[in-house]
């Protein structure tokens, strides 16, 4: 899941041996651990925000980690771009060529696939942006609730289990189309709720709309690029006064980008094989642990 706002950390502030980020302290090992968690959970269907809410208690960090948040998201953005660079290049090349031929050469030809994907990503980004902007504040308040995370993680598990029962002959559509783009974009917007996996929910939405497995996975992550960029811009506005050691930020960036690329590669293999349901037991267990933690903490 994409974090549209700052991490919500709770716990005592630790000052010795740490670099302060707007009142929040994080050391080199924290950066590596959090970057690793972000890289793994951003792409695997197990909810990055849900894990980061849980890790708040383990590392004892205090809010807000806005600057560090932006850096690790930049790392996962780099991973998506590195993995799908051929698709992105096709989108840019085909869009430019098609628009140029239409405007300057007057050639009426069928739209290339890269141009179509660009249009679908733009259409899908509209509901994501509307949901993120209109409901960002109230939904961000849920980031501190382990109970919410627990319930949402178990809902994610149910979505993943559903993929086990989607017939192979059902998901055969090789084009996204405008209405499928809107549906997947709306689901991505709802994944702002901590514990709802962005990748898992959008891929499942694509499959339920009849999209081929490979296409559902590709579109899910291509659609994530504008959302991540939007989150980075929002965080950049809030974190302009933040200060952090370059080494800490670099460690978080490298950790999230390298681990994120490997996680993305693994997930795409599992999408092609129809094995997303294998993540359901983990989400269920983590959801139960979160609920237990919320009850134990009063």
Give the tens place of pLDDT for each residue, 6-31.
333 333 333 333 333 334 556 788 78
More confident residue, 60 or 145: 145
Residue 4 lies in a domain: no
Contact present, 8 and 63 (Cβ < 8 Å): yes
> Among the listed ranges 14-18, 29-33, 106-110, 292-296, which one has the minimum average pLDDT value?
14-18
More confident residue, 83 or 56: 83
Give per-residue pLDDT as tens, 70-79: 788 899 999 9
Question: Looking at residues 228-233, what average pLDDT do you find?
Answer: 84
CA angle 97, 121, 212 (to 5 degrees): 100
Give per-residue pLDDT as tens, 147-161: 888 899 999 999 999
Q: What pLDDT, on a 0 to 100 scale, did the predictor assign at position 15?
A: 38
Residue 81 lies in a domain: yes
Overall number of domains in the chain: 1
More confident residue, 86 or 60: 86
Residue 11 lies in a domain: no
More confident residue, 58 or 19: 58
> Among the listed ranges 49-53, 94-98, 129-133, 148-152, which one has the minimum average pLDDT value?
49-53
Please determine, for residue 67, whether its predicted confidence score (pLDDT) is greater than 80: no
Residue 169 lies in a domain: yes
Residue 258 lies in a domain: yes
Residue 82 lies in a domain: yes
Q: In terms of Cα–Cα distance, which of 295, 286, 96 is closest to 197?
A: 286
Give the residue numbers spanning the domain of 188.
19-296
Looking up tokens 């952090």 gives 244
A 10 A CB-CB count for 275 gives 14
Distance between alpha carbon 232 and the CA centroid of its chain, in Å?
12
| Nearby residues of 227 by Cβ (< 8 Å), 6 or more positions away | 2, 4, 125, 128, 132, 188, 198
Q: What pLDDT, on a 0 to 100 scale, did the predictor assign at position 205?
A: 95
Query: For residues 222 and 240, what is the distance between their CA atoms, to the nearest angstrom?
Result: 28
Given pLDDT bands bounded at 50, 70 and 90, which one contains residue 142?
low
Contact present, 127 and 107 (Cβ < 8 Å): no
Q: What pLDDT, on a 0 to 100 scale, did the predictor assign at position 275?
A: 92
Residue 215 lies in a domain: yes
Residue 2 lies in a domain: no
């Amino acid at each position: 899941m994409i974090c549209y706002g700052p991490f919500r950390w709770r716990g005592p502030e630790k000052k010795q041996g740490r670099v302060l980020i707007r009142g929040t302290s994080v050391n080199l090992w924290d950066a590596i651990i959090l970057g690793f968690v972000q890289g793994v959970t951003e792409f695997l269907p197990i909810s990055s925000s849900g894990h980061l809410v849980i890790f708040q208690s383990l590392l004892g960090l205090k809010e807000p980690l806005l600057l560090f948040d932006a850096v690790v998201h930049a790392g996962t953005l780099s991973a998506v771009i590195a993995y799908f660079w051929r698709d992105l290049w096709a989108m840019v090349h085909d869009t430019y060529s098609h628009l140029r031929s239409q405007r300057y050469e007057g050639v009426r030809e069928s739209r290339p696939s890269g141009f179509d994907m660009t249009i679908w990503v733009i259409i899908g980004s509209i509901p994501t942006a509307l949901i993120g902007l209109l409901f960002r504040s109230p939904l961000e308040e849920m980031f501190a609730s382990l109970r919410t995370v627990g319930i949402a993680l178990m809902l994610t598990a149910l979505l993943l289990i559903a993929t086990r029962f989607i017939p192979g002959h059902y998901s055969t559509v090789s084009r996204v189309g405008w209405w499928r783009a809107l549906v997947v974009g709306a689901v991505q917007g709802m994944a702002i709720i901590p514990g709802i996996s962005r990748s898992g929910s959008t891929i499942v939405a694509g499959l339920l709309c009849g999209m081929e497995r490979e296409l559902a996975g590709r579109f899910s992550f291509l659609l994530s690029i504008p959302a991540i960029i939007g989150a980075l811009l929002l965080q950049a506005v809030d974190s302009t006064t933040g200060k952090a050691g370059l080494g800490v930020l670099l460690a978080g960036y490298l950790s999230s980008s390298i681990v994120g690329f490997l996680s993305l590669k693994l997930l795409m293999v599992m999408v092609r094989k129809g094995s997303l349901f294998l993540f359901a037991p983990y989400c269920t267990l983590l959801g139960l642990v979160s609920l237990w933690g919320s009850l134990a903490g009063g």
